[in-house]
Structure formats: C-alpha cells, structure tokens
Amino acid sequence: MRQLRPTPPRRSRHSVFCSEALKDCSHIFVREPGFSIALAPPYAGPYRVLQRTDKTFTVDAGRVPMTVAIDRTKPAFRLNDVEDTPLPSSRQVTFQWPPGALVASREGVM
C-alpha cells in the first residue's frame, strides 16, 4: 500500500469561454445566486465596475462595493446614441373618418 501513488487529475480539454467585452467594459450584469421564481430576471444590474482582477470584479452596488466572481458576470452594453439623438419636432396629427365608413352593413353576411 505504501508504494501506491495518487493519480494526477486529468487536464480539461475544453477551454472556458470568457467574453472579450469583459476586459474593458464599464458596466456589468451579475447573475443572482440560486434558483429564482418564474419570470424573475436572472441577472441584476447593471453595476459600474470599480476594479477588476483575473477572476473577480469589484462593482459599485450601492453603499458598499461588492466583489463577484467573473463566472457570474456578463457585460452590459449601453446605447450612447439614444441620449444624443434629438427628438422629432412635435406636430399635431388629426384623423377624419368618413361618416359612411363607421356604419357597417350586416346584410348578406351568413
């Protein structure tokens, strides 16, 4: 028994996917732990990223900074052009119905 040695663990052949956008995104979504009720969003946020390491993000979650694992995050993308787009000028549109079009005839319908 003393000559038996433990076998080394197998190396995984599959690489883990990590979004390239996580490297430089300013905001992220954080997956909620555990099971959620039906129709509840699985991610909370977006939270502003304060600091990042290889495996964790520190985000601004209100009063206290929160550190989360990179596995629980996904990048948040903002539409910058929505704020800069001017709204169309307001114009008043009126619709007129011909008086005969409002009354439908039921004759000939089976």
- Dump pLDDT digits (tens) for 24-43: 999 999 998 887 778 888 89
Residue 66 domain-assigned? Answer: yes
CATH number at residue 39: 2.30.30.140
- Domain total for the chain? 1
What's the domain range around 63?
A: 16-78
Q: Are 49 and 25 in contact (CB under 8 A)?
A: yes
Residue 64 domain-assigned? Answer: yes
CA atoms within 13 A on the CB side of 54: 0
Residue 68 domain-assigned? Answer: yes
Summarize pLDDT for 43-58 with one digit per residue, the tens.
998 999 999 998 999 9
Partners of 110 in the β-ladder:
none
Residue 103 domain-assigned? Answer: no
User: Closest Cα to residue 45, out of 86, 74, 79, 80?
Assistant: 74
- For the chain, the average pLDDT equals 80
| pTM greater than 0.75 (yes/no) | no
Residue 23 domain-assigned? Answer: yes
User: 14-53 burial, b for 16+ CB within 10 Å, e for fewer?
Assistant: eeeeeeeeeeebeebbbbeeeeeeeeeeeeebbbebeebe
Residue 102 domain-assigned? Answer: no
Residue 104 domain-assigned? Answer: no
